[in-house]
């Protein structure tokens, strides 16, 4: 019988692609999502790609009773991949209490349930924001965790501490935190992709929406950074590579290949691209000229971040395979599909 895996936030950007990767490997998936930053249509996209409709529970993980009832209803869950969280840096600065409640209480309630189970496996969606502006590049897993630049970043740091502390006293709990760099792109079928509600907080949806004429121009935050072209540098990783890494990490736990009961891995390409390089990569694959202008730096933005992926490459036997051009091409295909859909609904 196939193993049953819970994916929280499974209708979100990275969550939905991971659900597809899990189903394609034969896992039975149950999704929890409260649809606060996602759409039920994503479920249809997942089903279209895999020809399997995952079980879905519309549930808010902040409701402790509802979480308890869920685990009573699904006693045979063998692994949890936890994506459900608020994730906009700027919004977290404006509304810190929402972020602490949504990102930390929910984690505690899940771990309390897993503590009672026999052999739970737990994958945590963490972030390179835990490193802040690292002293050395590329960033390894042993780089010091710096004081967070935002409440969002702080919830990832505290989240990791909560898991690590819990693993020390619950020896049968096995967990991995995956610290990812900058996820971009979409499924090659264009049936699922990044679907920001309102103004995008991330660069690539802003690029594709500008190219599609939904936005007049793209704002590039700062051109006076100490980098070759003055713009920030990030490690852009294709969401398909990222989804595959979650399956690999889960299987490491399910096969009892882990080293200790709590591990941490960076997920990136190991290469940094500036904002201007990302724009050029998009223009190259789409044939679209982008309107953009430089505006003031954004609070909380670090200058340069890219991953040392040696540990993930050697230990997980995982490596990013897609290029930034591949990711931009898939993101543009996804945006065009959204445009066609909105025209047909008019």
Per-residue 3-state assignment (H helix, E strand, C coil) for 279-317: HHHHHHHHCCCCCEEEECCCCCCCCECCECCHHHHHHHC
Strand residue runs (E) in 13-87: 28-33, 55-58, 77-82
Strand residue runs (E) in the chain: 4-8, 28-33, 55-58, 77-82, 121-127, 174-180, 182-184, 218-221, 233-234, 236-238, 262-267, 273-274, 292-295
pLDDT at 103: 98
Beta bridge partners of 292: 218
- Of the residues 27, 99, 109, 152, which is catalytic? 152
Hey, what are 218's tokens? Answer: 């793209």
pLDDT at 256: 94
Q: Which of 130, 114, 113 is nearest to 122 (CA)?
A: 114
Prior bond to 138 cis, omega within 30?
yes
User: Which CATH class for the 203-234+270-345 domain?
Assistant: alpha beta
**Please, where in the chain does CATH 3.40.50.720 lie?**
4-184+237-267
CATH 3.40.630.20 at 4-184+237-267, yes or no: no
Q: Which of 22, 14, 83, 13 is nearest to 54 (CA)?
A: 22
In the residue annotation, 152 being an active-site residue is answered as: yes
pLDDT at 345: 83
pLDDT at 235: 98
Mean pLDDT per segment of 10 residues, for the chain of length 346 residues? Answer: 94 98 98 95 98 98 98 96 92 95 98 90 96 94 92 96 97 96 98 90 95 96 97 98 98 95 98 98 97 91 95 98 98 96 84
The model's pTM is 0.97
**Please, where in the chain does CATH 3.90.25.10 lie?**
203-234+270-345
Residue 118 near residue 250 (C-beta atoms within 8 A): no
pLDDT at 118: 82
pLDDT at 210: 97
């Amino acid at each position: 019988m196939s193993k049953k895996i819970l994916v929280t936030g499974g209708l979100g950007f990275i969550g939905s692609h991971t659900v597809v990767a899990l189903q394609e490997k034969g896992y039975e998936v149950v999704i929890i999502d409260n649809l606060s930053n996602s759409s039920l249509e994503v479920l249809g996209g997942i089903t279209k790609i895999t020809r399997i409709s995952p079980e879905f529970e519309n549930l808010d993980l902040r409701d402790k009773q509802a979480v308890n009832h869920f685990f009573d209803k699904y006693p045979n869950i063998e692994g949890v991949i936890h994506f459900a969280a608020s994730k906009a840096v700027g919004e977290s600065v404006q509304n810190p209490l929402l972020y602490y409640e949504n990102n930390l209480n929910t984690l505690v309630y899940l771990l309390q349930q897993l503590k009672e189970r026999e052999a739970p496996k737990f994958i945590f969606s963490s972030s390179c924001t835990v490193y802040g502006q690292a002293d050395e590049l590329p960033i390894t897993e042993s780089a010091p965790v710096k004081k967070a630049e935002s409440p969002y970043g702080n919830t990832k740091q505290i989240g990791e501490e909560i898991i690590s502390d819990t693993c020390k006293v619950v020896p049968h709990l096995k967990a991995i935190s995956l610290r990812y760099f900058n996820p971009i792109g979409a499924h090659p079928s264009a049936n699922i992709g990044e679907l920001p509600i309102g103004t995008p907080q991330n660069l690539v949806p802003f690029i594709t929406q500008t190219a599609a004429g939904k936005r007049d121009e793209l704002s590039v935050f700062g051109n006076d950074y100490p980098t070759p072209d003055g713009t920030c540098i990030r490690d852009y990783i294709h969401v398909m590579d990222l989804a595959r890494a979650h399956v690999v990490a889960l299987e490491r736990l399910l096969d009892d290949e882990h080293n200790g009961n709590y591990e941490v891995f960076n997920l990136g390409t190991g290469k940094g691209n500036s904002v201007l390089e990302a724009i050029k990569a998009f223009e190259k694959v789409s044939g679209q000229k982008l309107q953009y202008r430089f505006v003031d730096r954004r609070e909380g933005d670090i200058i340069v971040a890219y991953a040392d992926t040696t540990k993930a490459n050697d230990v997980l036997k995982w490596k990013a395979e897609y290029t930034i051009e591949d990711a931009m091409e898939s993101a543009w295909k996804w945006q065009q599909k959204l445009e066609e859909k909105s025209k047909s609904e008019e």
